[in-house]
Structure 1
Amino acid sequence: MTMEMPTEETSLVLNNQTTENCEQVNNTVENLIFGTYYILVFLLAVSGNGLALWIFSRQRGTSSPSNVFLLHLAVADLSYVIILPLRATYHLTGGHWPFGEIPCRLAGFLFYVNMYASLYFLACMAGDRYLAVVHAVRSLKIRHSRYAHITSFCLWALVTVSMAPLLVTQQTVEMEGTTVCLQLYREKASRRALISLAVAFTPPFLVTLACYLFIVRSLRKGSRLEPTLRLRALRTISLVMLIYIVCFLPYHASRAIYILGYSRQDLSCGVQRGLALANRLTSSLTCMNGALDPLVYLFGAEKFRGTVQRLLCKKPGSGSSATSGELKGTHESSVSAKSEF
């Protein structure tokens, strides 16, 4: 798998002085909105994913594969949101990067590692739930937490190695007395980066979409799941697809347009600024998955849901008999409900 390699693109950032002059418009209101937004996302994501990591790490006995993938997803989210205060500071200081070279490299590295790790962990979770619901009995031999951990560590290694060049290449430049971190919206992409974008985003998106469509079809064809469990399953599926559509799809579509159009000499300053703003907006949306993922844990992980209910002084079983995962019917359906919904 080939990931997008921003380090190859950043060398092009100074090649077009007209483009840079068009982009350098100091918008105080825009910077204030972005800075405030990153602070709010940071607070929500740290609290939600921190709680999830604490709950998942304290689980005793054998955990389900989906819970393993959710654990790694929480780690991925936390690894990125810890640098959001740096991005907020960048905006609140008017587009100046005061932290130096190494934090700039880490900011870009963690941005891409989190985004692509999250994409693939969500896809793994979708694949595991597809096996649990559609092929419950036949998949029992391969649906073990050990295999889920092995898969997760392999994905971590793949994404980390793919993004490692960001840690060893120059990422800051001086422009008109201001230090610019190239990984914050200013990286320029070569045309071949379009292939990297497609390879990095398309496979997990299609896998997730296909798995959940098969699950929905199975539920509609007369699944033995209780109505409450079926509703919870559909809510989880809808939430995951919402995360893809809101957080990841706009960024990759915008990047493709940005790559194709931003470096053209015949574009007006207004169009260039519009492309740059779209790049900043969609880039900021990617970090929202860190704030939305705890809702996936809430719907998709019974122990997480039960712990949250206890923390809110509610009885874990109140209002729903579905937390027990009981089903009407075969052992196959029982396995699916207890471990997944």
Structure 2
Amino acid sequence: MDPSIEVTSLFSNQSTESCGGETRVENLVFGGYYILVFLLALNGNSLALWIFSRQRGSSTPANVFLLHLAVADLSYVVILPLRATYHLTGGHWPFGEVPCRLAGYLFYVNMYASLYFLACVAGDRYLAVVHAVRSLKVRRARYAHVASFALWLLVTVSMAPLLVSRQTSEVDGATVCLQLYREKASRRALVSLAVAFTPPFLATLSCYLLIIHSLRRGSRLEPALKLKALRTIGLVLLIYVVCFLPYHASRATYILGYGHPGVSCQARRGLMLGNRLTSSLTCLNGALDPLVYLFGAEKFRGSLHKLFSRNAAGTSGATTGELKGTHESSVSAKTEI
């Protein structure tokens, strides 16, 4: 599953270095971007994890998968400041070998864990919408936890080689972390990309197409549940299109084109820039996933509404009657989803 087990510096000579190095403007933009994503993703996923942890008694399979998705996002969010520092120091990695290995490892673990957990959410939505009655025995929280831990085992073991291979190199007197956009452009990595990305993508797309087909034929679901299913479909597909599909398309293009002898320096720089841009987009899924929790997890929106309603009531010194009204609106929000 690991798309970059073979890692080496792409900057073995001065010509290649001048083609692929980051400019000052690029470093400032990327550094600020990673700080912004860090703040959004940290707050959104921390809040989601707190809410999910308080709903253990009424957990559904979708909630379980989204809980594990939040854990995956937080495991990567914590190293985004390291990426920001790398850019803000002009493309220099000051943290040493082990943090570089960990940064690359968590990057791929988060990306592919997110892909597979989103696929699990799609599968659960498919069973809930298309086979609502027949799937009741299968759609249980404990089965979802078993599947989630199996996926964690698969992803973490598959990415383990990144933790034992050297990931830093010296370029022009600066230390670079090879996992930050400088992976080796090998055909082996191309095969790994296809194997890691294609199954969850096709599974997710198939489930959602079948759901849409079922809804168009006339499902017996209530209108509110239909709307919830369509919202979840739209958000998950948006995350795929914005965060994951561009990276894998760009990596495939980069692998096929970078080492070709006829490629100019300008073209190589374009490939490197595309690699950096799409790599940064994968991090955006941590900031977008809380929207999936908001529209796709049962009782999540009601719990969130109740939490903020209580805070507003406390700060404004609301009366007992006002608090009762807030509670009733919270219950209404719960029944809506």
The TM-score, its normalising length taken from structure 1, stands at 0.90
How many residues matched? 322
For residue 145 of structure 2, what is the amino acid of its counterpart?
H
Q: Is the 8 A contact 1:83 1:107 kept in 2?
A: yes
1:92 matched residue in structure 2: 88
Structure 1 SS opposite 2:169: strand
| Counterpart-to-counterpart distance in 1, 2:234 and 2:328 | 24
Match status 1:83 vs 2:79: yes
1:66 pairs with one of 62, 65, 68: 62
Structure 1, 12-21 or 224-233: larger mean CA deviation:
12-21
Offset of 1:294 from its aligned partner?
0.2
- SS for the counterpart of 1:180 is strand
Q: Deviations over 1:238-275 (max 9, x none)?
A: 01000000000000000000000011222111101100
User: SS where residue 7 of structure 1 aligns?
Assistant: coil
Contact 1:5 1:162 in 2 (8 A): no
CA contact (8 A) 1:36 1:88 kept: yes
Q: Is 1:127 aligned with 2:123?
A: yes
Contact 1:309 1:316 in 2 (8 A): no
Cα displacement (A) at 1:18: 3.1
What SS does structure 2 have at the residue aligned with 1:263?
coil
Q: Distance in 2 between matches of 1:65 and 1:16?
A: 52
Which residue does 1:178 correspond to in 2?
174
Partners of 1:168 and 1:5 in 2: CA distance: 15
Instruction: Tell me which moved more, 104-113 or 144-153.
Output: 144-153
- Looking at structure 1, the residues matched to 25 and 121 of structure 2 have their Cα atoms a distance apart, in angstroms, of 39
Deviation at 1:303, TM superposition (A): 2.4
Percent identical pairs in the alignment equals 74
Q: Which moved more, 1:260-269 or 1:68-77?
A: 260-269
Partner residue in 2 for 1:140: 136
- Cross-structure match for 2:319: none
What is the distance in 2 between the residues matched to 1:18 and 1:292? 39
Match of 1:337 in 2: none
The CA deviation at 1:234 is 1.0
Query: For residue 21 of structure 1, what is the aligned residue in structure 2?
Result: 18
Indicate conservation of the 8 Å contact 1:197/1:252, yes or no: yes
Answer yes or no: is the 8 Å Cα contact 1:55–1:307 preserved in 2. Answer: yes
CA distance in 1, matches of 2:261, 2:37: 37
Q: Displacement of 1:12 after TM fit?
A: 5.8
Preserved contact between residue 302 and residue 330 of structure 2 (Cα < 8 Å) = no
5+ residue gaps, structure 1: 326-340
Deviation at 1:67, TM superposition (A): 0.5
Q: Which runs of 5+ in 2 are unaligned?
A: 311-325
Give how far 1:321 is off. 5.6
Contact 1:226 1:322 in 2 (8 A): no
Hey, what's the Cα distance between the residues in 1 that align with 2:12 and 2:154?
32
Q: 1:240 aligns with which of 229, 236, 241?
A: 236
* SS class of match (1:69): helix
CA distance in 2, matches of 1:62, 1:225: 21
Pairs within 5 Å for 1:282-321? 282-313=278-309, 315=326, 318=329
Which of 65-74 and 214-223 deviates more? Answer: 214-223
- Equivalent of residue 48 in structure 1, options 14, 24, 44: 44
Q: CA deviation at 1:213?
A: 1.1
Of 311, 317, 323, the residue aligned with 2:334 is 323
8 Å contact 1:229–1:322 — kept in the other structure? Answer: no
Counterpart for residue 224 of structure 1? 220
Q: Secondary structure at the match of 1:291?
A: helix
Relative distance call for 1:217 and 1:320 in structure 2 (3 A) is farther
Note if contact 1:49-1:290 (Cα within 8 Å) is conserved in structure 2: yes
Aligned pairs for 1:202-221 within 5 A: 202-221=198-217
Offset of 1:302 from its aligned partner?
Answer: 2.7
Task: Give secondary structure in 2 for the equivalent of 1:174.
Answer: strand
Query: Contact between 1:101 and 1:170, CA under 8 Å: does it hold in 2?
Result: yes
- Offset at residue 56 of structure 1 (A): 0.8
Question: 1:331: which partner in 2?
Answer: none
- The one-character-per-residue Cα deviations of 1:152-178 (angstroms, maximum 9, x if unpaired) are 111101110111111111100111110
- 2:53 equivalent in structure 1: 57
Give the C-alpha shift of residue 228 in structure 1.
Answer: 3.2
Equivalent residue number for residue 7 of structure 1: 5
Q: Say if 2:125 and 2:229, in contact at 8 Å, map to a contact too.
A: no
**1:324 maps to amino acid:** T
1:219 deviates by 1.4
Could you tell me how far 1:311 is from its partner in structure 2? 2.6
Please list, as runs of the form range in 1=range in 2, the aligned pairs for 1:330-341 lying within 5 A after superposition: 341=337
2:163 paired with 1:167:
yes
CA contact (8 A) 1:134 1:218 kept: yes
Task: Select between 315-324 and 255-264 the one with higher mean Cα deviation.
Answer: 315-324
Q: Which amino acid aligns with 1:311?
A: L
Task: Give the counterpart letter for 1:21 in structure 2.
Answer: S
